[in-house]
A and B are shown apart, each in its own frame.
Chain A
Amino acid sequence: MRNAFGRRRRGRLSAILLSALLLATGCAGAGAIGAGGQTLVIAIVANPQMNDAIALSDQFERDHPGIELKFVSLPENQARAKITASTATQGGEFDVVMISNYETPQWADNGWLENLQPYIDSTEGYDADDFIPSIRESLSDDGDMYAVPFYGESSFVAYRKDLFQQAGLTMPQNPTWEQIAGFAEQLDDPANGVAGICLRGKPGWGESLAPFSTVVNTFGARYFDEDWNAQLTSPEFKEAANFYVNLVREHGQTGASSAGFTECGTRYGQGEAAMWYDATVMAGTNEDPASSTVAGKSGYVSAPVNKTDASGWLYTWSLALPKVTENKDAAWEFMRWMTDKQFVQTVGEEFGWNRVPPGVRQSTYEIDEYTEAAKAYAQPTLDGIREANQDNTMTEPVPYPGIQFVGIPEFQDLGTRISQQLSAAIAGQKTVDEALEQAQEYAETVGQAYRETQ
């Protein structure tokens, strides 16, 4: 009796286990496809231009039989977390990583990245001299490039010409922040779902802190003085922070504290904002009818200023080769493909010229189709990138490199925490002063470490 009972139960148990086994082996069988040949794992940031590159990647695989590409494509914060952890511990999960001009010089110094100069020099027709000089320099260490740029950007303002005309307003070529705040107030139209301006509020040093830091700079404030004393509670810093927070709270987009580059892009593209201060690369997306309902309605002017002549940032998403990568030659083949002149042509022809990765190759700006499609923003982009250096965008000397970031390793942590405080202030959970006092404490700890080692 007992036994019969037990056997019946056991039968059902084995049925369950068996079905689980079948399921798993079935899957494993499918997963074995493509096991042969070389596989490159590429960690990449999920911005529109990169997504286009992923979409085109079967062309690369077709031309390079034997190389299979796998992309790990994540939003900026998550991508950065994975890429930095992997590179810093020499984890080797990724064969090619997408990083910026913040990481490149530091990581090159640490010996984590392969020097790309030999690869560049031995690749015929790659033409590294075609890169815009300031971009190339930002990725170089002792004259050798350690990353190759995919796209480059400064920051500027997009505004809706139609809305400005309706309201009888004129946007100057070089606006001040006072003027921008005035326009935002007049154009803010919650009833019709149009915000005066879209500004990033999402935490992350590469998110809200980028535009915010340019405001800090042009208001004459700085994160650290020359002796690494944190300056986040200085009157200038407070003025800048209050200005930014009040502007976005009063006339900014809804859900501002969680809106980053992509979110603002979607809003502006859907006609939900009259102005948008952000990376110059946004223009391509704004002008692409496939992703934007306001294509052709925007004008572009330089980054707004207060006490300086310019205030745009300098940034580039670029591809680097970790030292621990095994298939370096195959990896370089891919990097070359994605940053080549030919790639620009391919994107232009396949997806349209507004979707070309901008701000990197001077030759791009000599392509007739491109200058025609990008006439609203090509020149402001180039001007912005050219003027983006500390002399033009800051009033006071600082002990660190970088415009919209503090070029020290600790800034990933510090910047993220400061940006959280900023977001809390934007969400109205804290006053600006409270947020800055907490942020000052964080910064002081970092500054102290540098004061001691000096």
Chain B
Amino acid sequence: MRLGRISLTAFTWLVAILFVFPVIWMVLTSFKTEADAYTDPPKLFFTPTLEQFAGVFERGFLPYLANSGFVTLISTLAVLLLAIPASYALSISPVKGTSNVLGFFLSTKMLPIVAAIIPLYVISQNLQLLDNVWALIILYTAMNLPLAIWMMRSFFLEVPKEMIEAARVDGAKLPTLLYRVVLPVVAPGIAATALICVIFSWTEFFYAVNLSAARAGTVPVFLSGFITSEGLYWAQLSAAALLASLPVMIIGWIAQNHLVRGLSMGAVK
């Protein structure tokens, strides 16, 4: 029995390491020289170098990182600003046709984003928003809003009715009600929602690659410069990929409990 447990644990570890191996390999490769990255058989031991990371910054990585950070932060805040009252209206004080409204929000999520790309391009151009971070902020907000409302609504449903009633009887106005009674209960839900929004904004590729270039380019746009297969570029690509993923990776690792909770709430309610 004990042996079975140990071997099952060993198996789990093995599976996890195999599964994450491409990432481990990426980290290893990012510390290699280009020559070391192209050996046959692949090298596991080598003299590490920071040359690739320096190379990534030399290629002008920082502005892209700054754009990604700015777009992610602002669009996530905007999502919260819009989604909190909306989820309130769909849960605690439900309006008629709640399911229709919710259905509408979710169905926009199912629209293929590619279908509207040409009008979006033309509209952004007319509004002087091409290659502008604000175009991405607006689109990412719209992109994350449905999921955020869906998730937050289920957190709002957790607020005990009696508390709201008690506050109403005391004559609390809506903002007070929200701030004093509802917010403390749903705060973890908001954090989880924000986390999901951060992840999806940071990793978004399609809008970024089509609507931005040098000025508003985000991190995925920087990476798309690596599609060519001319010359040796793997080690630098790995360094760039690692740097590009690191912020979200760290936030996700730290807040993984929120991530689980946030996702599963949508399923419970």
Contact = CB atoms under 8 A, between A and B. Distances in A.
Interface string A2-36: 11011101101100110111011111111111000
A266 B231 CA distance: 7
A89 B119 CA distance: 12
- Tell me whether chain A's interface is mostly helix, strand or loop, or mixed: helix
A431 interface: no
- Tell me whether chain B's interface is mostly helix, strand or loop, or mixed: helix
B187 A20 contact: no
B224 A30 contact: no
Interface in B165-198: 183-185, 187-188, 190-191, 194-195, 198
A16 B251 contact: yes
Nearest to A42: B214
Given A2-B184, A31-B65, A21 B231 contact: no
Contact of B228 (A17, A39, A43, A46): A46
A23 B247 contact: yes
Contacts of B240: none
A70 B230 contact: no
B85 interface: no
A7 B184 CA distance: 7
Contact of B255 (A16, A28, A41, A93): A16
B10 interface: no
A400 interface: no
Contacts of B138: none
A291 B191 CA distance: 51
Nearest to A17: B194
B191 A12 contact: yes
B67 interface: yes
Given A19-B251, A70-B214, A89-B125, A24 B70 contact: yes
A106 interface: no
B229 interface: yes
B214 A72 contact: yes
A89 B121 contact: yes
Given A9-B184, A24-B73, A70-B214, A89 B231 contact: no
A92 B73 CA distance: 27
Contacts of A32: 66
Q: Which of B60, B229, B247, B251 has the most CB of A within 10 A?
A: B229
A25 B227 CA distance: 30
A295 B67 CA distance: 43
B125 A91 contact: yes
Contact of A93 (B131, B183, B195): B131
B228 A31 contact: no
State the 9 A-B residue pairs at the shortest beta-carbon distance, nearest first.
A31-B66, A6-B184, A24-B69, A27-B69, A27-B66, A13-B191, A24-B73, A93-B131, A262-B230
Given A27-B68, A48-B230, A78-B227, 7 more contacts: A13-B187, A20-B198, A24-B72, A39-B215, A46-B225, A86-B130, A266-B230
